Structure 1
């Protein structure tokens, strides 16, 4: 399917979310069991000192969506960064990413985007989690819930005219899609998110299909040893971006040749310290250039 055959507005029509309430009403503590035993020796723990940080509830169609928010205490008019979860939900790693961004003077918010379908912390293995929960989440629902998150950020004094988004794995793919969905996004950073795939009713298009609709440049941080996202997929995306929108043409990739998938996940065996630390520097530099 060519990107020129797609109209994002018609491909993702609004869903009637008022009929689907929230199954999950609060965030989990700790790390996701399905991700495997957490390595507490490498897992980064960012302090809340100097921050306003913790769980919040975001008004959305059909109820209240749980989310994690972190920001420098007492500061207002901050640029806003949406933090999009892995398949494991908003667990401790994603919360810590929010705190890291807050230490860099951003209002960071991670909404639990699976809350309408189920609790990712209830799963013990990845295949079941993907089959029974993650694959049941419509892209259109995610876009609407992120729109609600942006509206909440604005109501809390965040400066949504300086709006960024970053996401990991499942959230990396969503980062590309939301940069095509919301004209207000100024920059995105996608960590090893899927770029191509088969279309379905719930996932009608993928990042490579929307390059002519990107409103903001996206920095892609990918691993050269990622068996799920081969370098051929990255190359195809780079080719597509070159003939996409002006924002698409301003997007770029950094590929860490020796890194696997999830190289930033410091609590997992996939963690690669050098790639993760450089990727984080690249991420902050990208946001600094586009949001400040």
Structure 2
């Protein structure tokens, strides 16, 4: 991608639905959607140097904080860095974190402008290679470190599409202290997706907390059980919690899939996991 095209994509993000509300593909938004205010927070859109253009996204951190802040990189769902992902950043900032969510599709299209999931998957998501994502997460890590984050106290979290990338990033960046939440664990091997979380279980040094729904039709329990077995056999300091009544996307409060009790419990477990492993 040329610098010109990267700049145009960033401008589209700044002025498009992705920076203002929910992605078109998730309309209508459920009444359960949570809105976290930005009082006492500093929020904004970063310009992350990736080496092939400035990557936008969203960040939130406590206002006027003294000293470097613990970092959480928030890895988006398939819908990009829309209002829900931005809200998660603010929730983390309210807990004292510097939270940043990079817009990992910025070279390929604006998911906020796509009206249905099938088109989004075909025209945007399928074009994003894992190695590009992991490199962009490294760029996000570097940007955060240069803007007030303490990289000695850093974690990653991601949901659905981003949850899979979180497992992969935990294997890629061993400087992370912890990682958490749900994502696919296995799938077809392609040029863009050469490895999946099950393939890297034995390489994990970063402790990952997997939070999965027992009724999830997109991430079968058979996959979750395989991952539990792989982690145990490799002697890894990672854990998986299964919520029997929760389905796919149970933390997504803006969707009908939201399961408030399990989402709240998972959020508490995530924060405890980060603190226990030195990312608090």
- TM tier, shorter chain? over 0.9
Q: Map 1:98-247; keep pairs closer than 5 Å.
A: 98-191=89-182, 193-244=183-234
Supply the distance in 1 between the matched residues of 2:112 and 2:61 (Cα, whole angstroms): 25
Asked if structure 2 preserves the Cα contact closer than 8 Å seen for 1:241 and 1:251, the reply is yes
Asked if structure 1 preserves the Cα contact closer than 8 Å seen for 2:72 and 2:156, the reply is yes
- The aligned residue for residue 24 of structure 1 is 9
Cα deviation, residue 38, structure 1: 0.5
- Aligned length, in residue pairs: 271
Cα deviation, residue 163, structure 1: 1.2
Report the TM-score, using the length of structure 2 for normalisation.
Answer: 0.93
- The aligned residue for residue 274 of structure 1 is 261
- The aligned residue for residue 287 of structure 1 is 274
Supply the distance in 1 between the matched residues of 2:90 and 2:79 (Cα, whole angstroms): 18
Cα deviation, residue 24, structure 1: 2.4
Give the 3 Å change call, closer, same or farther, for CA 24–215 of structure 1 in structure 2: farther
Unaligned runs of 5+ in 2: none
Q: In structure 1, which of residues 216, 231, 256 is the aligned counterpart of residue 243 of structure 2?
A: 256
Unaligned runs of 5+ in 1: 1-16
- The aligned residue for residue 59 of structure 1 is 49
Asked if structure 2 preserves the Cα contact closer than 8 Å seen for 1:20 and 1:62, the reply is no
Give the 3 Å change call, closer, same or farther, for CA 42–96 of structure 1 in structure 2: same
For residues 71-98 of structure 1, the C-alpha deviation after alignment (integer angstroms, 9 at most, x for no partner) is 1111131111000000000000000000
RMSD: 1.5
Supply the distance in 2 between the matched residues of 1:148 and 1:280 (Cα, whole angstroms): 26
Cα deviation, residue 243, structure 1: 2.4
Asked if structure 1 preserves the Cα contact closer than 8 Å seen for 2:40 and 2:63, the reply is yes
Asked if structure 1 preserves the Cα contact closer than 8 Å seen for 2:3 and 2:53, the reply is no
Asked if structure 2 preserves the Cα contact closer than 8 Å seen for 1:18 and 1:61, the reply is no
Supply the distance in 2 between the matched residues of 1:135 and 1:256 (Cα, whole angstroms): 29
Supply the distance in 1 between the matched residues of 2:75 and 2:198 (Cα, whole angstroms): 19
Give the 3 Å change call, closer, same or farther, for CA 19–203 of structure 1 in structure 2: farther
Supply the distance in 2 between the matched residues of 1:239 and 1:72 (Cα, whole angstroms): 39
Q: Map 1:7-46; keep pairs closer than 5 Å.
A: 22=6, 24-25=9-10, 26-27=13-14, 28=18, 29-39=20-30, 41-46=31-36
Cα deviation, residue 42, structure 1: 1.0
